[in-house]
Every structure is written in structure tokens, then in C-alpha cells.
Amino acid sequence: MIVATEVPCVGCGYNLQMQPVGAVCTECGLPVQQSLDQTILRWWSRRLKRMAIALRWAATLTIIMPLLLVAGVVLDDIILSEWLGTHAYSQWVGAGTFGTMGLCGALYVVAVFVATDAPRGQGRGVSRWLCRLGALCIPLALAVPTLSIILQELLHPTDWRLLEYMRFIMPLFMLGWVVHVERAAALSGWVLQRGGMKSRAGLGVWSLRLLAVSLLGLTVTFLAEELLIWLFLDDMAAWSQWEPIGKIIRLSMGGTALLAAISLIFVPIGAFKLANRLSELSRLAEVAEAGSWTREAPAGAAATP
């Protein structure tokens, strides 16, 4: 039996078409049968195409969400404050900004649910569910400021402690976001490896990892800063001793914020590249679906390779 259609070796990506099923890959030595058993082309073209579309959606929303934040800041700090000279609507602009970002986050989650879809029995079940739970944290993290402003207005218009408490919930949702981004990177890398495209998945996977690291850094430095404030708010003498540490924390917070901004440039590029690879795989799978994976070797093929 020989491989009838274009199947990339899961070890190195070499095209195994026409290779005997019992042989090993001439490039990396992996058994051909292993590539036939493990290839992601068995997920079928429709599923791979759906993943590619969902990744493109997720990447587009990753571009839109920071732009919404910038629009909110411009509306509040320049149009309302400078031109109209009022701060009366500031918190509602904030609520609206984070509200629409939360809505985009919800759309993003839908995209992620589709993108991380994998058939049962293909392994990585736990990671898939972690990824999905983590994705749910994204709209929650983005909606916390909006929710806290609305609750504040409804329940305690004069008592600002509620807003203080809500600030601590956001970093927890950020941790879910970190898990999601890391798992999405791991899953994309895994899928592309099984499609024989590991060497071409680099930028996409690493851009997602950079985002995960910078989100984790932001969460940790935010919590550290809040902890310092909480510990020394009433004790200024002790605070003066800890001041250098406070500076270090603020510097690292600025550093990770910069890292996050850089990763937000690379994530859409990387995700679009991953989506293009998946589209390529879906085209290969389409061809494979049309016929059988293997066929009898033509007589005499072994004698005249």
C-alpha cells in the first residue's frame, strides 16, 4: 500500500504522497503509518476551515478592543473635558467604553469556542475546557469596571468602597485570560504540528505566548501594588522604608504594560498567519476526503522507484 494523497509528515512536514505505508519518512525517519494515524487532516476540511475563520475573527476583535479603549479616553479627556469643560459624564463614558469592550470580548469567546473545537478522542480534552473557561474570563474582566459603576450608582451613590472591592476581582479574571491565551497557543501549535506545519507555526504561537506573559505580569504587579497600598495606607513612617520597592513594582508594571502593547501588535499578525496555515490544511484535507488515503502500489513500483 502507498499513500495516495498529499499527507504532510507530522514530524517534519515532508510530503508523504507515493511513499509506502510501511516505510519511514525519508527526511526525519518517523514511520509513515504514524503520520497517517495522527494527521490533523482526519479532522476534515470543514472543521479546519471553521477554525481558520474563528481565528481571523478573534484576531480582528483583538485589534478592535484596544481601539475602543483609545476612543473612550479621547471622548472623555479631550472632547468632554477640554472642549465641553465637564467631568459630569466621565464615569458613564468609562462604563460605555468598557461595556462595548466586554461585548467584543463576548464575541471573542464565541470565536474561541469554535476555534478550540476538537473531536472527542483527539486528546487535550482538559486543555480545551481550560481554554474555554479562561476565555469566559475575558468579557468578565472587561465588564468589571462597567458593572462596578452601575452597581455603585444603584446601591451606594456616596460610598466608594464598592468600587475599591471590584478592582480586586478584575485581576482574578485576568488570570483566566492568561490560561486561555496560553492554551490557545498550545492547541494551535499542536494542531499545526499534526498538520506537518510545526516549523511554520512559530510566530503565531509565540505572539500568543508573549501576550500571556505580559497579562500575567500586569496581574502580578497590579496585585503587588494594591497589597503595598493596603498594608501602609495608615502608616506613613513604615511606607517610607518600603518606597523603593513601590518604585520597582511601578517600573515593572510599566515594563509589562509596554510588553502587552507590543504583543497586541504581534497577536493579530500571528493569529492571521495561524489562520492561513489552517486554511492550507483544510484544502489538503478536502483533497484527501475526495479519495482514499492509501491505494495499492502499482505493479513493479518497488522495482523501479
What residues make contact with Zn ion under the rule CB under 5 A? 9, 11-12, 14, 25, 27-28, 30
Q: Given the complex with Zn ion, which of 35 and 127 has the nearer CB atom?
A: 35
Q: Least distance to Zn ion from the beta carbon of 25, Å? A: 3
Count, in order, helices (H) and strands (E) of the chain: 7, 2
Q: Given the complex with Zn ion, which of 30 and 166 has the nearer CB atom?
A: 30
Q: How far apart are CA 267 and CA 272, in angstroms?
A: 8
Cα distance between the two ends of the chain: 14
Give the chain's length.
305
Containing H/E element for 3?
strand 2-3
Q: Least distance to Zn ion from the beta carbon of 16, Å? A: 8
Q: How far apart are CA 47 and CA 65, in angstroms?
A: 27
Q: Least distance to Zn ion from the beta carbon of 129, Å? A: 32
Non-local CB neighbours of 119 within 8 Å, separated by 6+ positions: 43, 47
Q: Given the complex with Zn ion, which of 14 and 239 has the nearer CB atom?
A: 14
Q: Given the complex with Zn ion, which of 17 and 240 has the nearer CB atom?
A: 17
Q: Least distance to Zn ion from the beta carbon of 15, Å? A: 10
Q: Least distance to Zn ion from the beta carbon of 191, Å? A: 17
Q: Given the complex with Zn ion, which of 32 and 288 has the nearer CB atom?
A: 32
Q: Given the complex with Zn ion, which of 56 and 198 has the nearer CB atom?
A: 198
Could you give the angle at the alpha carbon of 218 between the alpha carbons of 101 and 272, nearest 5°? 55
Q: Least distance to Zn ion from the beta carbon of 3, Å? A: 12
Best CA proximity match to 131, nearest among 178, 201, 63: 178
Q: How far apart are CA 162 and CA 53, in angstroms?
A: 41
